[in-house]
Chain A
Amino acid sequence: MTNDLPTLALKGLEGNARPELGVIQTWIVAHYDVIQLLWWTVLGIVIVTLAMKLVREYLAQRD
């Protein structure tokens, strides 16, 4: 549907082409939800790992 929209080239951008997705980008868009979830999972793992290291270190120092 968005392809039917008129092109708006703001002042200073006249003559530029519409942005188009490359092959890899097209594949990523098709799997976007999964990849996004993967990144949030990685971020979650990093945070949990750091938190666990802190707790272990805290307990070790308390002993």
Chain B
Amino acid sequence: MSRFTELYARFFSIEEIQQSRMLQWAFGALIFGHFVIFNTWTGSTATSLSSVANASYSCPPYFQSCGRFFFLRALPDGYSQTTFYMVLLGLLVLSVYFIYRRDWPKAHLALMPGFIWHTLGTLVITDGLAGNYDYYLLVFSIILLLLPRKEFFLKVSVPLLYTLSTFVKIYPSWIVGTYFSTLKTGLPLVPDWAIPLFTNLLMGLEMVGAWLLLSSKRLYQRSALTFFTFFHLYSGILVQYKYPSVVLPMLLILFGPMYTQTKIPFDKKSVFGWVLIVVLICIQCSSFLIPGDTKLTLEGNKFGLYMFEANHQCHSAVTIIDTGGQVRTADTQSISAHNRCDPYRTWFALNVICERTHPEAIRWTFDHSINGGPFYRIVDVQDACALHYNPFGHNDWIQSEDTARAVAMPVENIYD
């Protein structure tokens, strides 16, 4: 082993992977997770230069100049993006080859570019790629690739993420079950009358039952594993492959036949893992500090897990008045429950138009309905070009349910 490899292996605690069959399997699951995600990203225009040119890109609210850093061109405008993702796929395959050779430092090194790109794509360079499953993959990756005491923190991360996901579910979407009863198709395989029973049961199991995955009592541990295995297979009926593909393999590896209880570490090396847990909890709580109903305003909604937080539908009406007095209108709607209807996204697109064409004014109204409730006119402004978006607090130009005017009632929508 070269000096570099030795230092590299020590820095990332790779000996833990070398010594644990469970972590070796988990490493394989991580490669698979990146493959599943990149399979979608390779065709997306979210980080393509063409999306900057046609003003269809969107940056994270806390990094609104992300477009300046785009360097790829997606099909059909160029080959650089697919070339880039094929290099990443090659590195994932190379990582598998090094696993076969049992050369774990090199397998780790080969996965790092994919991990770094996934992190950037999820948190930094665009607002248009990541889903909740990316947060799961990110947490698993940080622990397995970067932190010491990998096995313990990986095991804790699963019930922790389940429980954190319930923070946003203590809301009518799940307590009343209106997320699903607003869908024309209801909740898969569950009669409409039983929807709230099912959603509350699931909340309880994610909040309390998830921790039984760590139990030393075989009956409890296996019962929890069985439930969450079926849950992920069931959830795929709605969310399809990505979420189950990222979480289910890790669940089975960590809590399946190889499961043994791991002693809770409190040594110096474990500090990083504990800090990660505290950070995850703090981030999940942060949106509660923003005034108003953040499920309606979407402010801070992506800070932490936000899966199935509310069923959305919205209608945006824009009138652009050019300096010559010419008037153009644009009407956009979203009917898919899981498309978040974030007014920030529309504001971002309008802001690009403001910077590029300097119109006299852009009048804008944005009506948002959640969980089958009224459409609230949460934005009603005379000039969108005069607005700024604060990513970490409430924006006065976005009204919440107590100040916004109800303008219409929705009909049942779809999950698309």
Binding site for B on A (CB under 8 A): 1-3, 5-13, 16-19, 21-25, 28-29, 32, 35-36, 39-40, 42-43, 46, 50, 54, 57-58, 61-62
Given A25-B177, A43-B166, 19 new contacts (CB under 8 A): A5-B374, A5-B408, A6-B408, A8-B315, A11-B333, A13-B313, A16-B412, A18-B410, A18-B411, A22-B196, A23-B193, A24-B194, A24-B196, A25-B181, A36-B170, A39-B170, A39-B175, A50-B211, A57-B266
Contact flag A7-B411 (CB < 8 Å), given A19-B182, A19-B372, A23-B193: yes
Q: Does any Cβ of A come within 8 Å of B204's Cβ?
A: yes
**CA gap between A61 and B208 in the complex, in Å:** 26
**CA gap between A61 and B397 in the complex, in Å:** 54
B296-315 interface code vs A (CB 8 A; 1 in, 0 out): 00000000000000000101
**Which secondary structure dominates where chain A touches chain B?**
helix
Binding site for A on B (CB under 8 A): 163, 166-167, 170, 172, 175-178, 181-182, 184, 192-197, 203-204, 207-208, 211, 264, 266, 313, 315, 333-335, 367, 372-375, 406-414
**CA gap between A34 and B181 in the complex, in Å:** 21
Q: Given the complex, which residues of B lie within 8 Å of A46, measured CB to CB?
A: 163, 207-208, 211
Contact flag A42-B208 (CB < 8 Å), given A13-B414, A19-B178, A22-B195: yes
Q: Given the complex, which residues of B lie within 8 Å of A62, measured CB to CB?
A: 266
**CA gap between A11 and B313 in the complex, in Å:** 11
Q: Which residue of B has the minimal Cβ distance to A54? A: B264
5 A-B pairs with CB atoms under 8 Å apart are: A5-B406, A13-B335, A13-B412, A19-B178, A25-B195
**CA gap between A8 and B28 in the complex, in Å:** 48
Q: Given the complex, which residues of B lie within 8 Å of A43, measured CB to CB?
A: 163, 166-167, 170, 207
Most chain-A CB neighbours within 10 Å: which of B176, B375, B406, B408? Answer: B176
A11 to chain B, nearest CB (A): 6
Most chain-A CB neighbours within 10 Å: which of B184, B192, B410? Answer: B410
Whether A9 contacts B411 by the Cβ 8 Å rule is yes
Contact flag A8-B410 (CB < 8 Å), given A23-B193, A42-B208: yes
**CA gap between A5 and B172 in the complex, in Å:** 21
Whether A19 contacts B264 by the Cβ 8 Å rule is no
**CA gap between A45 and B369 in the complex, in Å:** 33
B311 to chain A, nearest CB (A): 9
Q: Which residue of B has the minimal Cβ distance to A28? A: B176
Q: Given the complex, which residues of A lie within 8 Å of B367, measured CB to CB?
A: 8
Whether A2 contacts B406 by the Cβ 8 Å rule is yes
Q: Given the complex, which residues of A lie within 8 Å of B177, measured CB to CB?
A: 25, 28
**CA gap between A61 and B267 in the complex, in Å:** 10
Q: Which residue of A has the minimal Cβ distance to B371? A: A19
Q: Which residue of B has the minimal Cβ distance to A50? A: B211
Q: Which residue of B has the minimal Cβ distance to A4? A: B409
B176 to chain A, nearest CB (A): 5
Q: Which residue of A has the minimal Cβ distance to B208? A: A46
Whether B266 contacts A10 by the Cβ 8 Å rule is no
Partner among B204, B409, B412 whose Cβ is within 8 Å of the Cβ of A5: B409
B333 to chain A, nearest CB (A): 4
B393 to chain A, nearest CB (A): 23
Whether A16 contacts B175 by the Cβ 8 Å rule is no
Q: Which residue of A has the minimal Cβ distance to B375? A: A8
B198 to chain A, nearest CB (A): 11
Whether B196 contacts A28 by the Cβ 8 Å rule is yes
Contact flag A22-B192 (CB < 8 Å), given A6-B409, A28-B175: yes
**CA gap between A28 and B166 in the complex, in Å:** 18
**CA gap between A34 and B123 in the complex, in Å:** 37
Whether B335 contacts A58 by the Cβ 8 Å rule is no
A29 to chain B, nearest CB (A): 6
Contact flag A24-B197 (CB < 8 Å), given A8-B409, A8-B410: yes
Q: Given the complex, which residues of B lie within 8 Å of A21, measured CB to CB?
A: 176, 178, 181
Whether B412 contacts A12 by the Cβ 8 Å rule is no
